[in-house]
Structure 1
Amino acid sequence: MSLIDWAIVSFYGIIVITIGFLASQKPSNTNEYFRGGRQLPWWAIGFSIIATSFSAASLLGGPGQGYGHGFLYLQLQLGDLIGYGLVIALFLPFFVNLNLTTAYEYLEKRFDGKTRSLGSLCFLLFVIARLGALLYGASLVVSTVTGMPLYLTIVLVGLFSILYTVTGGITAVVWTDVLQFGMIFVGLGAGIWTAVSQVDGGFGQLWATAGEAGKLTVFNLSWQPDSIYSLPTALFAYGVLSFAVAGTNQQSVQRYVSCSDVPSARKAIFVGWFMGFVGVAATLFLGVILFAFYRLNSGLPDDVMGDQILPFFILNQVPPVASGFLVAAIFAAAMSSIDSALHSLATCMTVDFYDRYFLREEAEGKSLKMAKLLIVVWGILGILSAFYVASTGEDLLPFLVTYTTVFLGPLLGIFLMGVLFPRVNANGAFYGTVITVMLMIVASEAGWVSFPGIWRSAITAPIGVIIGYLISLFGEIPGARSIQGLTLWTQIGQGNRLLDRPGLEEEEDSAE
């Protein structure tokens, strides 16, 4: 890292902090802090939707995938399109028109408080386990390419993310996500330019070399259930997984409910998918170019592979200025995931638990202070978690994959029960989900199931729905309050005006 590289990274950091400071002038209540007053432009929210899931691991993993498998990974974006399409068709009108702050408030309106708490808890477990791994992975890369000590990098990335997230709320998160996603493309462009400029014959030679090695193939039509590089698996298995993430994950839902109306949210989702398609294609393109670059130029050690290829390229081939933009891009990818995790974590804990169970009366000031406190607390815990991973070498991701993702399919099942099956009651939804999760954990530990992990959501979601429905048949039929305006069928019958029916809120209040 030269002086000018550090200047580029520092200038980028100053811009991010400035955005956080400007955004902090506005949030005076929880509606502003959690949803931006529903006044954020849909195109900015669209960028934020994809930036949230585009972590440092994505920026490094994409070139690694391109290097090893060409453009085959791009098939998963078709699965994403299916997932987002299902969210728009089934869930989006409820999230936006019900004026929700968290996705799990719908579960209380449709079922009861315990089902809402279960859904929110599933999400919290996922994010808490993921936070330390996100921070550690990002800091490790930044430490490698800058030469800074790992622990210092963890502290800097963590504190930096906490600072602008806690000051500006969702407004700061969304606008910094827009900046960060733009910076990612600048960094990718710098890497591609470096590779092209250092090869005789330029881009044409690199592209021809990649084509000769079969790296330009996009579709694999063969049926390979255990391979993400198979189109059927990408469409069906990953499509349902994407549906579960985009439809039940508060990090995504918080963007939808920050839109002013359903059409704006729909446009934001399509922008998010399209920019995600472009972003993944760009990272794969860089990986394909790097494959051709090292095929024409020796110098890549045999033990450098996958996620290590881009850092190695930055350290050994990228000149000053370009390396500064690439490092800033890695910072950007890291923080766009960490800030979203912190903010959604604080939102769920405040709205679904603190306000729901502990706040005796409506007090905007107390809720806002609690949300900011939770961002700081969980940011610090995330730093400590990353320290633990760095000191022991015991990655948290195996725990995440083995246990917390087992909730994802059943969590999708709860929402499907609520939206599609008016006969399902609160006990059916709650106990059906709990039983499904327990069955999956026991079956996985005992080795009773051997289906590939990517199919887990596609298999467990319908199992949860079936069990929940059967349990409901032995219980009471849900009352009108539990289904009017809260299922796909009653929503259609009411012309998509979920909360405009007079007396709904008063009916809910009297029932409570």
Structure 2
Amino acid sequence: MGTLDWIILGSTLLFIVGYGVWRTKGSKSVHDYVRSGSDAKWWTIGLSVMATQASAITFLSTPGQAFHDGMGFVQFYFGLPLAMIIICMVFVPIYHRLKVYTAYEFLENRFDLKTRSLAAILFLIQRGLAAGITIFAPSIILSAVLGWDLRTLNIIIGVLVIIYTVSGGTRAVSVTQKQQMFIIMLGMFITFFFILSHLPTDISLGKAMKIAGASNKLEILDFSFDTKSRYTFWSGITGGLFLALAYFGTDQSQVQRYLSGRSLRESQLGLIFNAIFKIPMQFFILLVGVMVFVFYQYNSSPLNFNPAATSAIMESNYADDYLILQEGQRKLEEEKKMAQNRFSSALDLKEYTAIEEAKQQIISLNTKDSTNRAAARDLISKADSVVETNDKDYVFIHFILNNLPKGLIGLLLAVILSAAMSSTASELNALGTITALDLYKRNKRGDFSEAHYVKATKGFTLLWGIIAIGVASIANLFDNLIQLVNIIGSIFYGNVLGIFLLAFFFKFIKGNAVFSAAIITQFIIFILFYSLIFIYPTGEEKLGYLWLNFIGAALVILIAFIFEAFDRFLIKPPIKG
């Protein structure tokens, strides 16, 4: 990184922190601090909702996901537009009519305090873990850039977010996220067109897409009913739908964004904005990852994109074996480049037979490439059992640091860090709010002033910031960060969504039945996760994690029905006559 990169990166981050503190100082009431005075317009809500979900993990992991596995991940979002419509028609009107500060406040009105507290605790567990991961993700970036210790970077990033989140509450999160989304999308568009301009002169966008398609990177739709596959059309519109319903309808980090709307209509328009633009945004980010793949068909890439893994192997007794693999990889890259040129020429001449022959050669070379990279991971594991060999999350950052010009590197790092700050700020804001209002205020005896609860919310936000930094310090890459966040959410979201669906649509179900059903469901989901989805030690999933959202919601509803029927007709049979 050059001086210009540091200036752009530093000034962007300082502007976001300073702007957030300056615009939002002086929140005196819970209404101002938690609901931003209920004066946000639809475009602020829409951008804030989108920025909350689009964390650094999105811009780190999604391009790497597309680089390795293609565009199929976009199916994960297919249920989102329908979920947004349902939330606009059912969830938002109820929240606005009751003038609640949190989603779980509604559950006490409908059921009882213990059900409200249980749902709040489930939220705190999963969102507290996710907040740590959203801090950990950008720490990977700066660790690769600076060579600094990950824990030190976790603290620095966490503190930056805590400063303006504690200071300004929901308004601070919302006003900074508009600037952050502008920086994010500007950086991604510049990167896309930079890659396109640095491909060989005869490679147009259309031809680049055909090159990606020849390597099966553009297979978007999978209509198979294979439950082992994580991303299919059916898992997207079922499990993805239930995940989106739970996330946007019951997760306080999102609910708090649209509760700040000046009217019901403004809140609904903000969510419809996301229903329209979320899938295109994710499609474009995946497409950037595919373009990075095409770029590396004509340019050399490391056997493993994690610099720490490369350092570990080169300093071990397996260095010579790794060098042999690298030499083989260099020869393979030359073969791939020639194969791509043959494929390109065949496309120009429109010779079908030549196109198919070149495509089969590309597929064969890609198989050899995968074999080489797997062998490299095995060697790295032998050299250092601790270092992370899975390099999906390092693909995009490697491309940024080694190929972009000075200045643009700083901008792209600012993009990823801005995304991290916006998402983490929303999460800490929601965690502090839930702890203060759903647990502390509701269970504390005595009357206290608005200022007391504002201070309590700030204090809990600070506490959760510290906890998130702690989680980040012990986090691991698992398989892929963006998948890890969604896996954690899927373990809890289905259950919570089922509780809300019972509250909305099944008026005869009472609190005791729901509370018992939720506890039993959560235990069942844990068992399902460890027996069918958790990939260690067998290495094979038997069920895609997205299905947990549907299963959790269905289970809690079914069990609640059973408990309510048992209570009504067996314990308390109806009186005759």
User: Residues 176-215 of structure 1: matches in 2 within 5 Å?
Assistant: 176-201=176-201, 203-204=204-205, 205-215=207-217
User: Residues 170-319 of structure 1: matches in 2 within 5 Å?
Assistant: 170-201=170-201, 203-204=204-205, 205-297=207-299, 299-304=300-305, 305-319=391-405
- For residue 153 of structure 1, report the CA deviation from its aligned partner: 1.9
- For residue 393 of structure 1, report the CA deviation from its aligned partner: 10
Q: Tell me the distance in 2 between the aligned counterparts of 1:256 and 1:359.
A: 30
Aligned to 1:418: 503
- For residue 200 of structure 1, report the CA deviation from its aligned partner: 2.4
- CA deviation string 1:289-308 (max 9, x = no partner): 111111122x1123235222
Greater shift after overlay, 192-201 or 369-378?
192-201
- For residue 182 of structure 1, report the CA deviation from its aligned partner: 1.5
Aligned to 1:431: 516
Aligned to 1:136: 136
1:409 pairs with 2:494 = yes
Aligned to 1:468: 560
Q: Tell me the distance in 2 between the aligned counterparts of 1:348 and 1:342.
A: 10
- For residue 403 of structure 1, report the CA deviation from its aligned partner: 7.5
Aligned to 2:455: 369
Aligned to 2:27, the other structure's residue is in SS state coil
User: Residues 24-39 of structure 1: matches in 2 within 5 Å?
Assistant: 24-39=24-39
Alpha-carbon RMSD across the aligned residues, in angstroms, is: 2.7
Query: 1:107 and 1:141, CA in 2 relative to 1: closer, same or farther beyond 3 A?
Result: same
| Structure 1 residue identity aligned to 2:265 | P
1:330 aligned to 386, 395, 416, which one? 416
Contact 2:150 2:473 in 1 (8 A): no
Aligned to 2:103, the other structure's residue is in SS state coil
Q: Tell me the distance in 2 between the aligned counterparts of 1:281 and 1:331.
A: 21
Contact 1:75 1:229 in 2 (8 A): yes
- CA deviation string 1:280-320 (max 9, x = no partner): 122112111111111122x1123235222111111211110
Q: Tell me the distance in 1 between the aligned counterparts of 2:409 and 2:485.
A: 33
Aligned to 2:406: 320
| Structure 2 residue identity aligned to 1:461 | A
Query: 1:317 and 1:306, CA in 2 relative to 1: closer, same or farther beyond 3 A?
Result: same
User: Residues 92-111 of structure 1: matches in 2 within 5 Å?
Assistant: 92-111=92-111
Query: 1:355 and 1:240, CA in 2 relative to 1: closer, same or farther beyond 3 A?
Result: same
Q: Tell me the distance in 2 between the aligned counterparts of 1:393 and 1:310.
A: 18
Aligned to 1:374, the other structure's residue is in SS state helix
Aligned to 1:14: 14
Contact 1:190 1:326 in 2 (8 A): no
With the length of structure 2 as denominator, give the TM-score of the two structures. Answer: 0.77
- For residue 339 of structure 1, report the CA deviation from its aligned partner: 0.6
Q: Tell me the distance in 2 between the aligned counterparts of 1:31 and 1:399.
A: 34
Contact 2:49 2:274 in 1 (8 A): yes
Contact 2:126 2:489 in 1 (8 A): yes
| Structure 2 residue identity aligned to 1:440 | I
- CA deviation string 1:205-224 (max 9, x = no partner): 53342244343343233333
Query: 1:388 and 1:64, CA in 2 relative to 1: closer, same or farther beyond 3 A?
Result: closer
Q: Tell me the distance in 2 between the aligned counterparts of 1:262 and 1:302.
A: 53
Greater shift after overlay, 73-82 or 412-421?
73-82
| Structure 2 residue identity aligned to 1:358 | K
Query: 1:259 and 1:284, CA in 2 relative to 1: closer, same or farther beyond 3 A?
Result: same
Aligned to 1:167: 167
1:441 aligned to 526, 530, 539, which one? 526
Q: Tell me the distance in 1 between the aligned counterparts of 2:75 and 2:487.
A: 25
1:346 aligned to 432, 435, 443, which one? 432
Structure 1, unaligned runs of 5 or more: 478-512
Contact 2:230 2:545 in 1 (8 A): no
Contact 2:61 2:481 in 1 (8 A): no
Aligned to 2:238, the other structure's residue is in SS state helix
Q: Tell me the distance in 2 between the aligned counterparts of 1:245 and 1:150.
A: 29
Q: Tell me the distance in 1 between the aligned counterparts of 2:486 and 2:77.
A: 21
- For residue 389 of structure 1, report the CA deviation from its aligned partner: 3.8
Aligned to 2:79, the other structure's residue is in SS state helix
Contact 2:79 2:241 in 1 (8 A): yes
Query: 1:401 and 1:177, CA in 2 relative to 1: closer, same or farther beyond 3 A?
Result: closer
Q: Tell me the distance in 1 between the aligned counterparts of 2:17 and 2:217.
A: 40
User: Residues 18-97 of structure 1: matches in 2 within 5 Å?
Assistant: 18-97=18-97
Greater shift after overlay, 311-320 or 272-281?
272-281
Greater shift after overlay, 269-278 or 430-439?
269-278
Q: Tell me the distance in 2 between the aligned counterparts of 1:454 and 1:376.
A: 32
Give the structure with higher Rg (CA).
2
Q: Tell me the distance in 1 between the aligned counterparts of 2:488 and 2:57.
A: 21
| Structure 2 residue identity aligned to 1:288 | V
User: Residues 389-404 of structure 1: matches in 2 within 5 Å?
Assistant: 389=475
Aligned to 1:496: none
1:356 aligned to 442, 447, 472, which one? 442
Q: Tell me the distance in 1 between the aligned counterparts of 2:194 and 2:254.
A: 35
Contact 2:247 2:493 in 1 (8 A): yes
| Structure 1 residue identity aligned to 2:102 | T
Contact 1:37 1:258 in 2 (8 A): yes
With the length of structure 1 as denominator, give the TM-score of the two structures. Answer: 0.86
| Structure 1 residue identity aligned to 2:77 | Q
| Structure 1 residue identity aligned to 2:497 | L
Aligned to 1:386: 472
- For residue 394 of structure 1, report the CA deviation from its aligned partner: 13
Q: Percent identity?
A: 29
